[in-house]
């Protein structure tokens, strides 16, 4: 009886195993669609030989099959990132490139031989474009990669045909040729939207932005060029908002930047002014420049606001899934460069004075700082927010020399360096360390240059000396905000030597003995603090400075100062060394080894 029960349990167990194996086999017979970005693509799963009939655009792996089946169709083992194998990729592009080149040669050759009249030549180009477009349209479902190449080639042919009809043969008037080019650009945008192919939008953007130059005439003006560019910009911005094609973004940015730069060069500057009221009156009297400025502001919206709005839109649709746009440098580079270009163009066309342009730059820095703080509230946009903070720091640093000068500028730059270091440490923003170090280096170099100058002013208590001392104190505080031990020590060492040189500059006019005494007092103070705080770096710095003062006393002062000074300096430093040796055990209170290492770190 017991044997029968045991047998039934075994049979039930075997039935469950067979059922699981059947379910697993059914799953394996369905061709999986694998993402090329999946980190598990390197694993070879056991799949059915039926995968040999999978579509060409899919990435598949083939299990061990018979030699006959493997010879019929080899497996693709390389991840297909462009939707087509490499051979077809290059054949498509080389083929359409050679075809368009042949069309250009055909036009040129027909002109030289006089075979056909211009109308026939243009008609041939138009017919070729229509044929390419028809073939691309019909192959959208079967061969999408070849389809986009054919449609892109047809759009390029239409652009060439319009250019030839207007510039070479004068068959079309400027309005008709312009309308034709605009229609071709719209066709490119519509087809890119329908087929979700970025290359068509890029071709349309290049052709649309190049239309004013392909149809160049002396009748145009910078304001009309900017207005037309803004129309193209609106189209590309709308497509980018929904599609987030990075190639379209940077292509449009380069093209629009070149056109706006040309319009700036072509515009007449109004002359420098720092008076806002005067500038406003001049602006009202120049509607063309107001139109160009409006176009610049629209460009700023397209490249500074639309990419962020697109990211937020895509994050909302993908439920906080990481986006490709946030993993490429395009959006970050454009976010940084756009305000710099806008301010440069604005200041050039209006001829703004330093003061007015400086305050305008400060306003832009505050705007980007606030925008960076808002973006950092979302974890996915923290790096983009850091980029805006970096832009704000750069703008503010560029604005300060235009507003302030001399001693005030030095202290404000040092204060900015301290604030940037503080924000970088408190918010863990490494992107701010580069401008913080550059600001600190600028302030340090400027202090060294100023220390070389000698003027007849009261020692120590004069604007130059106080400004230098404040700047050095701010740099010393900035060193306390640096996490890297070696970099913090470098800051402190630089400030230490600058302070020694500062004492020399301020006291040298009173006599060399005053400098030696000041160095000795400063060295004793540093040494005492190092002993009381048990900080080895301060102790060694104090001792080294004290030895430097003694070296100066022996090598320079004893030969150049009066006899009374030689006596006083020798007795004074001797007494100081004896006093320090006596009080060393009282002043120095070593901590535990662990505390010492933590304090030195």
Residues listed for the chain: 601
Contact 418, 477 (CB under 8 A): yes
Rounded to the nearest angstrom, the gap between the alpha carbon of residue 375 and the centroid of all alpha carbons in its chain is 16
Predicted confidence band at 62 (pLDDT cuts at 50, 70, 90)? very low
Average predicted confidence (pLDDT) for the chain: 79
The pLDDT value given to residue 34? 45
Q: What is the DSSP letter of 143?
A: -
Q: What is the pTM of this model?
A: 0.73
Contact 515, 561 (CB under 8 A): no
Contact 548, 499 (CB under 8 A): no
DSSP three-state, residue 75: coil
pLDDT in tens, 80-91: 434 445 555 566
Contact 410, 404 (CB under 8 A): no
DSSP three-state, residue 269: coil
555-584 mean pLDDT: 73
DSSP track, 479-524: HTT---HHHHHHHHHHHHHHHHHHHHHHHGGG-HHHHHHHHHHHHH
Residues forming a β-bridge with 273: 352
217-239 mean pLDDT: 88
Say which range, 30-34, 97-101, 239-243, 274-278, has the weakest mean pLDDT: 30-34
User: Domain extents for the chain?
Assistant: 113-218, 221-351, 406-503, 511-587
Predicted confidence band at 63 (pLDDT cuts at 50, 70, 90)? very low
The pLDDT value given to residue 586? 67
Q: Is residue 529 over pLDDT 50?
A: yes
The pLDDT value given to residue 168? 80
Contacts of residue 195, defined as CB under 8 A and 6 or more positions apart, other chains included, come to 140, 144, 147, 148, 151
Give the separation between CA 598 and CA 285, rounded to whole angstroms.
67
The pLDDT value given to residue 144? 73
pLDDT in tens, 573-587: 777 777 766 666 666
The listed range with the strongest mean pLDDT (260-264, 451-455, 475-479) is: 475-479
DSSP three-state, residue 518: helix
The pLDDT value given to residue 28? 57
Instruction: Tell me how far CA of residue 157 lies from CA of 123, 146, 515, 571, in angstroms.
Output: 11, 16, 81, 95
Q: Is residue 399 over pLDDT 80?
A: yes
The pLDDT value given to residue 594? 43
The pLDDT value given to residue 54? 39
The pLDDT value given to residue 59? 37
pLDDT in tens, 474-494: 999 999 999 998 999 999 999
Residue bearing the bigger pLDDT, 222 or 146: 222
Instruction: Tell me how far CA of residue 375 lies from CA of 16, 297, 309, 380, 400, in angstroms.
Output: 54, 21, 11, 9, 26
């Amino acid at each position: 009886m017991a044997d029968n029960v045991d047998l039934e349990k075994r049979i039930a167990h075997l039935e469950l195993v067979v059922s699981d194996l059947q379910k697993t086999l059914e799953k394996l017979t369905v061709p999986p669609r694998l993402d090329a970005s999946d980190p598990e693509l390197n694993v070879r799963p056991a799949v059915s030989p039926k995968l040999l009939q999978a579509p060409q655009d899919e990435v598949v792996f083939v299990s061990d099959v018979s030699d006959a089946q493997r010879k019929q169709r080899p497996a693709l083992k390389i991840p297909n990132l462009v939707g087509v194998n490499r051979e077809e990729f290059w054949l498509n592009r080389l083929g359409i490139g050679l075809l368009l080149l042949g069309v250009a040669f055909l036009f040129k050759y027909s002109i030289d031989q006089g075979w056909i009249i211009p109308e026939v030549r243009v008609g041939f180009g138009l017919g070729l474009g229509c044929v390419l477009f028809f073939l691309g349209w019909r192959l959208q479902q079967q061969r999408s990669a070849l389809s986009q190449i054919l449609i892109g080639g047809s759009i390029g042919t239409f652009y060439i045909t319009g250019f030839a009809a207007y510039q070479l043969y004068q068959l079309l008037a400027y309005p008709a040729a312009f309308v034709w080019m605009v229609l071709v650009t719209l066709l490119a945008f519509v087809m890119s939207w329908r087929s979700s192919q970025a290359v068509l939008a890029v071709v349309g953007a290049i052709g649309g932005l190049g239309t004013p130059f392909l149809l160049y005439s002396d009748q145009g003006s910078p304001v009309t060029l900017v207005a037309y560019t803004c129309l193209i910009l609106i189209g590309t911005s709308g497509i980018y908002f929904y599609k987030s094609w990075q190639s379209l973004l940077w292509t449009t940015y380069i093209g629009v930047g070149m056109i706006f730069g040309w319009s700036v060069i072509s515009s007449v500057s109004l002359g420098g002014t720092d008076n806002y009221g005067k500038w406003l009156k001049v602006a009202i009297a120049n509607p063309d420049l107001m139109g160009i400025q409006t176009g610049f502001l629209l460009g700023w919206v397209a490249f500074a606001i639309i990419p962020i709005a697109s990211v937020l839109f895509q994050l909302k649709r993908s439920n906080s899934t990481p986006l490709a746009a946030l993993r490429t440098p395009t959006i970050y580079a454009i976010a940084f460069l756009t305000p710099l270009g806008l301010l440069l163009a604005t200041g050039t066309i209006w001829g703004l004075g330093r003061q007015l342009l400086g305050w305008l730059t400060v306003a832009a820095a505050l705007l980007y700082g606030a925008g960076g703080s808002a973006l950092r509230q979302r974890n996915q946009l923290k790096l983009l927010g850091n980029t805006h903070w970096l832009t704000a720091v750069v703008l503010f640093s560029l604005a300060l020399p235009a507003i302030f000068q001399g001693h005030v500028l030095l202290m404000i730059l040092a204060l900015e360096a301290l604030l940037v270091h503080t924000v970088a440490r408190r918010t863990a923003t490494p992107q701010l360390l580069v401008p913080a170090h550059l600001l600190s280096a600028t302030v340090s170099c400027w202090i060294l240059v100023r220390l070389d100058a000698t003027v007849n002013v009261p020692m120590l208590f004069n604007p130059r000396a106080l400004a230098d001392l404040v700047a050095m104190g701010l740099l010393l505080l900035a060193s306390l905000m640096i996490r890297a031990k070696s970099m913090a020590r470098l800051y402190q060492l630089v400030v230490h030597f600058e302070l020694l040189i500062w004492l020399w500059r301020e006291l040298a006019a009173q006599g060399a003995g005053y400098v030696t005494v000041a160095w000795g007092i400063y060295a004793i103070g540093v040494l005492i603090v190092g002993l009381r705080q048990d900080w080895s770096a301060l102790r060694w710095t104090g001792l080294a400075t004290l030895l430097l003062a003694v070296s100066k006393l022996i090598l320079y002062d004893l030969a150049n100062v009066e006899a009374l000074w030689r006596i006083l300096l020798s007795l004074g430093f001797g007494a100081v060394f004896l006093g320090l040796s006596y009080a060393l055990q009282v002043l120095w209170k070593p901590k535990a080894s662990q505390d010492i290492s933590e304090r030195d770190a």
